[in-house]
Each structure stands twice: as C-alpha cells, then as structure tokens.
A = this chain, B = another copy of it.
Amino acid sequence: MIKFAQFGAGFIGKIHGANIVKHPRAELTYIYDVVPAAAESLAAQLGAKVASSPEEIWASDVDAVLIASSTNTHADHLSAAIKAGKAVYCEKPVDLDIARVKAVVQESTKATKPILVGFSRRFDSNHVGIRESLHNGEIGKLEMISITARDPKPPALSYIKVSGGQLRDQAIHFFDMLRWLSGEDPVEVYAAGAALVDPDIGEAGDVDTSMLILKFPSGALCHINCSRRADYGYDERVELFGSEGMALSRRKPRREISIFKGKSIIADGLHGGWFERMEPTFYHALDALIRTIEGEQIEYPTLTDGLKAQLIAEAAVQSLHTNQPVKINYWSPE
C-alpha cells in the first residue's frame, strides 16, 4: 500500500482524496489545509488524519504527497517533497512565476521519486485513443492538429485576474496536449484574441475568445481555439490529421438519447462543465503515479512538461499582446 498525504481540501482536493481512498493499492494518511476546519471535515469523511503542519508530513513515513493546495504553495511543497524523498502528484500550474518553476525543475534533477504534474487530460481515454492511432501509424505522418476547447461559462472575474489569463489558465492544457500528442515541441506561436463574452474580462487585460496557430519543427501546424463560454456545455475535441488519415477525439454526450420530432432530431448535448467530462482522468492520472512508484515504466507529465507548457503560454501571451508570431524559448536544467 502506498501511503499518501494531501495538501489542500478544497474542490479538487476532495476529488483527489476520494480517488486515493478508492485506489486499491493506496491509502490516505494525512490531510493538511491552511483552513484547519476544511482539513478536518475531509479527513473525517475519508478516514484520514489531519496533519498539524506540512513538516509533520515531511517527517512522516508517507510515500507520496498530493499537492492540491493553492498555486502559490506548489513550489514550496515540491521543494520540500524532493528533499524529503516523497513522490508527488502536483496540480497544475507549478507556479505562475516562471523563474520559480525553473528553480523547482532544477531542484527536481535530484529527485529520487517520480513527480507527476496534473495534466490529467493525457489520461482521457478518447485522447489516448487517437494518440495510439497516430503512434501506430494508422494515420501516417502528422500534418495538422486542431483543438477546440470551450468552457460553458467564464470563471469569476476575481479568479481570472489571478489566473494569468485565458492562455495561461485555459489554453495551457492544450499546450501540453499538443506536445504529448505530436511528440514534438512547437517552435513558434501566433495568438489572436478578444473579450467578446464579457467586457470586464477585457477591462482586466485578458481575452475570453482566442485562436492560435503553432508551428512544429517538422512543418506540421496546430490550431487551437478557446472560448470562456459555450451556451451548449463543455466542448473539447481534438483532431489529428495525418498523411494517411485523420483521427478524431469526438465530443462526449451526456447520454445517448435522441428524440425525433417534427423536422428535427434532438440529441442529448454535452456535459455542463469540464469537470463532469474530465472527472475520470483524475483517477487515471493518480493510478499512473502509483504504478510508476511501484516500478512500472509509464509515461506521465513531468515537471519539465509543466514548464514547457508554461513557456508556450508565455510566448502565446506575448504574441497576443504584440500581434506578432513569437518563438518559444525552452529551457533545460543544468
């Protein structure tokens, strides 16, 4: 059994905690939250102990930590986990400050245990399926990727202001995804955007509607379009176009129901939010970490992957502001 401690008892912490408990080869020992009452409530529900401080966790015999606390605490917890020799599942992003991310990546070169960054969409069965089609050669050589990502409604303006904006917060999942799907690091990005959903988002210096084109070293091209609002639910889909075919990760409907009436066929639509759609991926990502700890060779999103996605986002933001295509500057630890 792999013993976990968890930082954070908020919305996503509840999901992760329940998944740890549900996993047949993991157990949840500690929960820590800066709001003790939150930690206590979740600990009671999941049969775990409340840690009185992060230090109690680092000194304990837990094998792994799940970092689901607020973003600005990720880097410190990662550093401590590396020093304490704990495996880590860290929610994204690593930190909004790229310098801090680089520092942690540098430290992680000494890590003895796996560190997984929570790009959980890599574990979505539909996305996994089209990646296999590409890697199996079914669709030939990759030439174009097209990604659509639309949330039903914008997050609170207060969140948007601290999130880094649409490209750093929403599009970042797809910056990771295009690297994971293609096996290539894009070299350049052009971004266009506007605040069409809510002028207050524009006032705050952000956009809510954006389109990007990225170029791969192979010449392949990638398009992403994002909206912070879709009247019809959470819409995420990916298209891989290759020299010998195309693979689609289609939309997933809520239910397989159709009503035939008058001149229309009315089918059940999409999920009401990203979470309903993506929930199973959290468990699969956790399972990947656990199997890695157990010694299995599994590909998973690393700290370096987390940094690269953020570096693409930085270039995209610069492109958005300058209306110029921008080269992406990657960085490697010494």
Contact = CB atoms under 8 A, between A and B. Distances in A.
A225 interface: yes
A162 interface: no
A31 interface: no
Give the interface size bracket for A toward B.
35 or more
Contact of A269 (B215, B230, B260): B260
A263 interface: yes
A165 interface: no
A131 to B, nearest CB: 10
Nearest to A324: B324
B190 A325 contact: yes
A334 interface: no
Given A144-B225, A196-B220, A250 B246 contact: no
B192 A259 contact: no
A61 B247 CA distance: 55
A139 B252 CA distance: 21
Given A253-B265, A257-B130, A269-B263, A215 B192 contact: yes
A126 interface: yes
A290 B316 CA distance: 50
Contacts of A195: 219
A17 interface: no
B219 A190 contact: no
Interface in A204-253: 209-213, 215, 219-221, 223, 225, 227, 229-233, 235, 241-253
A1 interface: no
A255 interface: yes
A260 B217 CA distance: 25
Contacts of A22: 22
A324 B325 CA distance: 7
A256 interface: yes
B209 A211 contact: no
A256 B264 contact: no
Interface string A248-290: 1111111111111111111111100000000000000000000
B259 A146 contact: no
Contacts of A262: 231-232, 245, 269
9 contacts: A126-B257, A144-B225, A196-B220, A211-B213, A213-B213, A232-B262, A260-B269, A265-B266, A323-B325
